[in-house]
Structure 1
Amino acid sequence: MSQQAIHIALVGNPNSGKSSLFNSLTGLNQKVGNFPGVTVDKKTGTVTLDDRTRAELIDLPGTYSLYPRRADEWVAYKVLMGADTEVKPDVVLLVADASNLKRNLLFCSQIIDLKVPVVMALTMNDIAAKKDIKIDISGLEADLGIPVVAVNPRKNKGLSELKRVLAQVVRLGNNTSPRDFIENKKLAPQAIPAVQELNSQLSDYAAVHFLINHEHFPIGNTQQEKIEKIEKDFNFNPTKTQAEEIMQRYTRIRQLMKQNVLEPGPLEKKIFTDKLDNLLLHHVWGYVILISVLFLLFQSIFWLAVFPMDGIEWAFTEISSWLGAHLPTVWWSDLIINGLVAGLSGILVFVPQIMILFGLITILEDTGYMARISFLSDRLMRKVGLNGKSVMPMVSGFACAVPAIMSARNIENRKERLLTILVTPLMSCSARLPVFTILISLVIDDTYYFGFLSLQGLVMMALYLLGTVMALIVSYVMKWFIKISEKSFFILELPIYRAPRWKNVGITMVEKARIFVTDAGKVIMVISLLLWFMSSYGPGDRIEQTEAKYANFIQQYPEKKDSLERLASTEKLQNSYAGILGQWIEPAIKPLGYDWKIGIALITSFAAREVFVGTMATLYSVEESDDSSLREKLQSAKHADGSKVYTLAAALSLMVFYVLAMQCMSTLAVVKRETKSWKWPIFQLVYMTVLAYTMSWITYIIFS
């Protein structure tokens, strides 16, 4: 029997459980594209409802009502209004949060009045139960006039019933609510029938939206002019109509809640939340606690990661030593030991720190404290041209700039969104963490003040604060040059405080570690192997001449064999392709305190910042064949004149460079995608490189 193919639009408020339901229904049958003409993700997936019905599920961006402000809300709005030329859903699957039903019912009631087939999936029922909220689902169904199904996507509860109801609605055809949620015709009693004469298929409420937003719909010029005339003839006022509609809807929602929802418990939780907010949002103590939380976050990266990192370093040293002792002395064994194993060690040694960073950020989000960080930061953000919503992308930038920049779509104001995109890469992402960690361990003593304040942790926090402060300064300067005038609003819903979902924290940590190892790891491995080749071979017969020269020296002075072999390795590296490239750029970076090997690392890490460590691991493994760790090799690295390469001044200069430089091709690509222009990513690359070079030079001068 052939299956009927249908289209279902998945809609709902942000944070209502929509993504969880989408993932549970579609599993791995998903693909992500873009809605035509806009930088908004189009997630689609296939789901089998029954043996006769197969559906394409389209996950529309989250929105609070049918009055769009952001680009992603316009996408959802046009699909629901039938104004999208590509997406034409047969059924709307509306996700509503049972623990916050009153807010969700506004959007629900508007969709019902569009007279499209709707099914409501009621999520967050476990949270509602914990808050002692009891919902009469059959009563809610009767009052709304649509099917309501309680689901728990995380535990796969209610999904079979939801599929059955969706298939039933499809077979019944145009199964819409028999009555309006409010008396929409009274909103514009003369204008609505006049619009319906132009399009008889419009419901009363859809006609209201045609009066308000017809300029955005794909209708001919003649109809546009006729609707404009109707507006003028009947003195239609969009703002007044919208305000009146919302008031009427909430009046009806309050009645519906009273009849079908019993909520005796939330007051206690609200009181607890308010008491906690009195402290955490205090105009003085709130900021003290915020700085303490961030300090604890950076300290923990060192405290908790030290043992697993030492264990991984020891394991790779042992593996290299064993392979060196058992493999023959040929080119492919050198490739395995100094290319493959050295590259792998540069990836895996930092996995514990990345897992800890993401785990702690997830805890902040899960508990509800991340939203408070936005609230606390709004006043400061406004002074530099941003707003409180900019904090979420900027804090997310501590993890990775790519999703952080994409999350800036939630900022309605175009100027604030652009400024957020331009400064977010200055936040120190997890890719910089390996660079900071190894350089701090080289030049900063493992000293503790008052028994618990780690000097290394303080330096790490200072680097993160430097990126944050520079982001604010850059935004303040840029706000005077970017000429976009638009009103700005900061509306933020503060969630109640909840215990973190430890399973979610664990999954996030494992997933982020997997992404780092597979995505960043691929780049690091490819560059490590390429560097091995560039470091092992050179133009002409330079390498062979060097080998012959030192073989002759060793024959003449056998007692100096060890030191001569080290000199031979160094000279061979200098005559390799990598050495020649590094020496070519050395004059440009010498004022910053860097040698040619650091120059090579700066070039390779433009692909991805974390490649720095893999580059250094490969270069020093090729040059030195002993079993010491990378940290020990860097510690003993010397210039030609015998002076140390990694002095305090040089290491601090290098850390500052990595804080401020734009060394991430993926970030530039996503900025181009979000701004729809190469102008802004090129500008970003130039200003960040100039800023990094200048500040690194100043740092080197000060500490020399």
Structure 2
Amino acid sequence: MTVATQPDIKQAERPPVSQAIAKIALIGNPNSGKTSLFNQLTGLNQKVGNFPGVTVDKKTGISQLTSQLKAEIIDLPGTYSLYPKSLDERVITDLLYDPASKHFPDLVIVTADASNLKRNLLLFTQLADLQLPAVLALNMVDVAEQEGVKIDIDALQRELGVPIIPMNARKGIGVAALKIVMTQQLQATTKSFYSIPQELKPLLYVIKDRFDLQNEYLALQIAHHYKNLKFLNEEDVAWLDGHLEAAEFKSNTLQANETIARYTLINELLLDAVRVEKADKDEKFSNRLDQVLTHKIFGYLIFFVLLFLIFQAIFAWASYPMELIDEGVASLNGLIQRNFDGPLVDMLTEGIIAGLGGVLVFVPQIAILFAFIAILEETGYMARVTFMMDKIMRKFGLNGKSVVPLISGVACAVPAVMSARTIENWKDRMITIFVTPLMSCSARIPVYTVLIALVVPEKYYFGFMNLQGLVLMGLYLIGFLAAILSALLLKTILKARERSYFIMEFPTYKMPRWKNVGITIVEKVKAFVFEAGKVIVAVSIILWVLASYGPGDNFEEARQKALTEARVENLNEVQTENRIASHQLENSYAGIVGRSIEPVIRPLGYDWKIGIALLTSFAAREVFVGTMSTIYSIGEEENVSTIKNKLMTEKDANGDPFFTPARGFSLMIFYLFAMQCVSTLAIVRRETKSLMWPLAQLIYMSGLAYVMAFITYNIFS
């Protein structure tokens, strides 16, 4: 299959692209290769923001088209048509129906699955009738050929009136040709793919006049979607309400009729341009594989084994790079302390570097987790997991689409909560949003790792089963169990008459595109380090100040008391300095705050130092490790460099190790259940448009964490 010549398309009457960075929107059906194409065009030159006025992720990137010419690529949510079914899809109508917007694209690239053109062309014909300059990126041509689908690119190009670029986005084939077309000034096709009923013409005429529109189909789309278009003011909405009611405008009926008419036309278009040379009598490889991977028994066992391998790898593979990072941070601290002195040096080494070191050391584990998630998504297996879990989820008040937020919650609860927008049923969506934070996110990994290393021995069973990895997997499974049981509880409380349906399309199994996996790892790790780093630097500096100073003469009195004890006990110089540091920390501002909450947390086995960490980690869970590192780096011996060793040397009042299995498991359970993430609460508030839901989450999860941590501490004591 060769790249066809470009049809005779008129030049658009607008300034040349070279005068400014062109805005190019990337749109297509789910599983049409849109993400692969976006990664090919932008590489690592990507950033994630929000679309104006909403919390939907806006993924953009800069593509170098030529040595002098760049373009901004906007990756729009996947959709099957311009009639949105989810909140994510509505941003498409907001973007494409407002030509006056500064975000309005100069060009639209429509990705289409060559092996399923009929379904994919529905969206294209709608965009074409909006008279948007467009290019059709005909993706997966290799899959189409394997299935015996032959496409006459020249014929199809003449029928559609736009450039068509055959490609394999996963391998980068056709991307260079697409970039060449993107540099040209294209105008929309002059072909029309839908005849608007004559009885609607008077209504559409007044809408065009009211909003100064040139396109009749755009006027029709505004009539369909006006209640959800953010660029319309209240006066416009009221005006449309009146005119549509007077015209007896039946939106749902008209949408259904339009879709039928478009598919009828698409069938005619494809008669001459597409032919199937061999019948697909044998089961496809994907279908044969699905018989095993989605089996009602073996499917779940295979998924469980995959989870087991992932959590084993998180500990086994990450141990060596973690040790290198840990030793590097300790060496840097030691180098600075040996060559410099003063309060600022103390703040740098004991505050900032100690706090950041507690996060950087976990980068290998975060990278491994995201690598596995990316591979499962790239291969198409994650869609099967969603399908398998649907029957189970429905028993607990959820549905198959709830699995996506729950699995995404293993990475981060914020995008996971936002991904619940794909759930049309209000009740299912609210339950999913409420329970998703119970899934153990990547921010909990540093907490789990430190505590597991403290109280769980590094043992292997059968030569490969790591006990620490089993405990980590157990924590994730407890989180999932808590989520579905909480969903069952909410199911009985929330009342809704809506019935939910679960319809999805399985992508074919593919080998992972390693470039996409690599980009995912880099982007996620970068977000984890920098987003967590901002909070940790701020918290570490504040905490160091609070731990290094105290009110009035408290510090000097604590010093004199420590010196008296040292003389009585005949302590050496190093032991004396440690005793002074311990007394001063206890009498610092941080110590006073910790002491004030100690009575509340004492039943859980915690002391005032852990209390400080619990308070600071309400900003973000991962701050716990940085806080503990900062707290225990003040006054410790120089040869105690790593946070694990610092915590292992901590003693209780009787001189026994402070971090016993009872305290360690109690802390793990507390952090498993507790809602200690301000960002998640904020995003729940924005997604539900209610303060009730985040407050209910905070109260419920905090109470659950306290009760379960209390039970755990008493069981292991």
TM-score band by shorter chain is: 0.7 to 0.9
Q: Give the equivalent residue in structure 2 for 1:434.
A: 446
Paired residue total = 687
Q: 1:197 to 1:536 in 2, by over 3 A?
A: closer
**2:51 is aligned with 1:34:** yes
**Residue 692 of structure 2 corresponds to residue 684 of structure 1:** no
Query: TM-score, normalised on structure 1?
Result: 0.86
C-alpha contact (below 8 Å) 1:192/1:204 kept by paired residues: no
Question: 114, 117, 122: which is aligned to 1:106?
Answer: 122
CA distance in 2, matches of 1:98, 1:607: 47
Q: 1:264 to 1:623 in 2, by over 3 A?
A: farther
Task: Determine the C-alpha separation between the residues in 1 that align with 2:121 and 2:636.
Answer: 68
In the alignment, structure 1 residue 259 sits paired with structure 2 residue 272: yes
Q: Contact (CA 8 Å) 1:50, 1:163: kept in 2 or not?
A: no
**Change over 3 Å in CA distance of 1:500–1:149 after alignment to 2:** closer
Instruction: Specify the code of the residue in structure 2 equivalent to 1:461.
Output: M
1:547 maps to amino acid: R
State the distance in 2 between where 1:464 and 1:321 align: 36
State the Cα deviation string for residues 370-419 of structure 1 (Å, max 9, x = none): 11111011112112221111111110111111111122222222222222
Determine the C-alpha separation between the residues in 2 that align with 1:176 and 1:503.
Answer: 34
Contact 2:562-2:583 at 8 Å conserved across structures:
no
Call closer, same or farther: CA 1:514–1:53 in 2, change over 3 Å.
closer
- How much identity, in percent, do the aligned residues show? 48
The reply on whether 1:162 has 2:187 as its aligned counterpart is no
Q: How does 1:49-68 map to 2 (within 5 A)?
A: 60-68=76-84
Find the aligned partners of 2:467 and 2:279 in 1 and give their Cα distance: 45
Provide the residue aligned with 1:520 in structure 2. Answer: 532
Cα distance in 2 for residues equivalent to 1:341 and 1:85? 45
2:31·2:507 contact (CA, 8 Å) conserved in 1?
no
1:698 matched to 2:711? The reply is yes
Amino acid at match of 2:30: P
Residue 534 of structure 1: aligned partner = 546
Q: Does 1:491 align with 2:541?
A: no
Match of 1:271, as an amino acid? K
Contact 1:141 1:148 in 2 (8 A): yes
Q: In the alignment, which residue of structure 1 is the partner of 2:163? A: 147
Contact 2:577 2:635 (C-alpha < 8 Å) held by counterparts: no
Higher mean alpha-carbon deviation, 376-385 vs 108-117, is at 108-117
Calculate the TM-score normalised by the size of structure 2.
Answer: 0.85
Contact 2:48 2:60 in 1 (8 A): yes
1:464 aligns with 2:483: no
Q: CA deviation at 1:515?
A: 2.3
Aligned match of 1:16:
32
- Aligned pair in 2 of structure 1 residues 109, 652: CA closer, same or farther (>3 Å)? same
Task: Report if the CA contact (8 A) 1:65-1:107 is conserved.
Answer: yes
Among 137, 151, 156, the residue aligned to 2:153? 137
- Indicate conservation of the 8 Å contact 2:46/2:59, yes or no: no
Distance change in 2, residues 1:336/1:387 (3 Å) = same
Cα offset, 1:204, TM superposition: 7.9
Secondary structure of the equivalent of 1:361?
helix
- Aligned partner of 1:246 in structure 2 is 259
Which structure 2 residues correspond to residues 222-241 of structure 1 after superposition, within 5 A? 224-225=241-242, 227-231=244-248
Output aligned runs, 1:370-381, within 5 Å. Answer: 370-381=382-393
1-side partners of 2:246 and 2:291: how far apart?
53
Q: Who is 2:677 aligned against?
A: 664
Distance 1:665 1:466 in 2: 23
**Kindly tell me: are residues 215 and 594 of structure 1, through their superposed partners in 2, closer, same or farther at Cα, counting changes over 3 Å?**
closer
| Aligned-pair CA distance for 1:351 | 1.1
Tell me the alpha carbon deviations over residues 423-465 of structure 1, each in whole angstroms, 9 at most, x when there is no partner.
Answer: 1111101110011111111111222333332222221111111
Equivalents in 2 of 1:385, 1:214: separation in Å?
32
Q: Does the aligned pair in 1 maintain the 2:226–2:237 contact within 8 Å?
A: no
Q: With a CA cutoff of 8 Å and minimum separation of 6, indicate the structure with the bigger relative contact order.
A: 2
Q: How does 1:338-417 map to 2 (within 5 A)?
A: 338-417=350-429
SS of the equivalent of 2:493 reads coil
Structure-1 separation of matches of 2:81 and 2:161: 19
What is the rounded CA distance, in whole Å, between the counterparts of 2:168 and 2:263 in structure 1? 27
Give the structure 1 partner of residue 557 of structure 2.
545
The range that moved more, 152-161 or 276-285, is 152-161
State the one-letter code of the partner of 2:387: F
- The answer to whether the Cα contact below 8 Å between 1:151 and 1:157 also exists between their aligned partners in 2 is no
Deviations 1:552-587 (A, max 9, x none): 565676564454443333222211222221111110
Residues of 2 paired with 1:358 and 1:346: CA distance? 19
**2:199 pairs with 1:191:** yes
User: Is the contact made by 2:42 and 2:63 (CA closer than 8 Å) also made in structure 1?
Assistant: yes
Q: C-alpha separation between the residues in 1 aligned to 2:219 and 2:36?
A: 34
2:687 corresponding residue in structure 1: 674
Residue type matched to 1:161 in 2?
I
Question: How far apart, in 1, do the equivalents of 2:341 and 2:121 lie?
Answer: 73
Deviation at 1:139, TM superposition (A): 1.1
Match of 2:653 among 632, 640, 658: 640
- Structure 2 unaligned residues grouped into runs of 5+: 1-13
Deviation at 1:698, TM superposition (A): 1.3
1:276-315 alignment runs, 5 A limit: 276-315=289-328
- Report how far residue 252 of structure 1 moved: 3.8
2:492 is paired with a residue whose SS is coil
Q: Deviations over 1:257-311 (max 9, x none)?
A: 3432356689599611111100111111111111111111111111111222223
Q: 1:536 to 1:240 in 2, by over 3 A?
A: closer
User: Does residue 1:509 correspond to 2:521, yes or no?
Assistant: yes
CA contact (8 A) 1:21 1:153 kept: yes
Residue 212 of structure 1: CA displacement?
6.0
How far did residue 479 of structure 1 move? Answer: 2.5
RMSD over aligned Cα atoms = 3.7
Answering whether residue 637 of structure 2 is matched by residue 625 of structure 1, we say yes
Distance change >3 Å, CA 280–CA 55, structure 1 → 2: closer
SS in 1 for 2:706: helix
User: Aligned partners of 2:610 and 2:407: how far apart in 1?
Assistant: 29
Given candidates 93, 114, 136, the residue that maps to 1:120 is 136
Cα distance in 1 between the residues matched to 2:122 and 2:531: 42
One-letter amino acid of the counterpart of residue 124, structure 2 = C
Distance in 2 between the 1:53 and 1:143 partners?
31
Structure 1 position 537, deviation (Å): 1.9
| C-alpha distance after superposition, 1:324-372 (max 9, x if no partner) | 5x33664344334423442232122111111111111111111111111
1:607 partner SS = coil
- Say whether residues 1:650 and 2:666 are aligned partners: no
2:637 alignment partner, SS class: coil
Counterparts in 2 of 1:323 and 1:487: CA distance versus 1, 3 Å:
same
Q: Is the 8 A contact 1:595 1:645 kept in 2?
A: no
Q: Does residue 625 of structure 2 align to residue 613 of structure 1?
A: yes
User: 2:604 matched to which residue of 1?
Assistant: 592
Between the aligned partners of 2:458 and 2:46, the Cα distance in structure 1 is: 50
CA 1:47–1:281: 2 relative to 1, 3 Å:
closer
* 3-state SS of paired residue (1:579): helix
Give the 3 Å change call, closer, same or farther, for CA 48–316 of structure 1 in structure 2: closer
1:172 alignment counterpart: none
1:319-330 superposed matches below 5 A? 319-324=332-337, 326-327=338-339, 330=342
Q: CA shift at 1:143, angstroms?
A: 1.5
Q: Which amino acid aligns with 1:695?
A: M
The offset of 1:614, in angstroms, is 1.3
Cα offsets for 1:171-206 (capped at 9, x unmatched): xxxx5433x436x45xx5x63455456568887866
Q: Distance in 2 between matches of 1:501 and 1:139?
A: 31
1:237, CA displacement in angstroms? 6.8
